[in-house]
Amino acid sequence: MDIKTGRFDHIEDVLAQLHGGQWFGWSDSKNKIYANLILTEKMGVGGELIDNPHSLPTEKSLTDALAKQQSDFDAQEYARNRHTEYPTIEECVHAILDNDNNELDTLQAKRAEIKLKYPKGG
């Protein structure tokens, strides 16, 4: 996963999201490709070591899930960009509580400007 953005960048990100615990591993940890993916025999659950109840997903299901997560993430870029520039909740609350219509109008104008700058699907 990209540490700065949270965007999945490897099938390992998909695997880690599928099940809790250490249910999979790599036969070569320096070469994390599907061919080196292994199922652990045992895994810890609730402080006990149990037989691993999971099975390995297909390579296609992992690459498809990775592509979908990346596509979904990329489609929300406008929302992440807007969020960084929108007025803060604190600014909005103060304008409302202070009954400051001028400030509310300014905040609404700022939001409209940001929505134009980062359009949905843009």
CB under 8 A, 24+ apart: contacts of 73-81: 73/5, 73/6, 73/7, 73/8, 74/7, 75/121, 77/118, 78/118, 78/119, 78/120, 78/121, 78/122, 81/117, 81/118
Contact (Cβ atoms closer than 8 angstroms) between residue 87 and residue 105: no
Q: Which residues are paired to 24 by β-bridges?
A: 39
How much is the pTM? Answer: 0.76
pLDDT tens-digit map of 16-68: 999 999 999 999 999 999 999 999 999 998 899 999 999 999 999 999 999 99
Q: Is 68 helix (H, G, I), strand (E, B) or coil?
A: helix
pLDDT at 121: 76
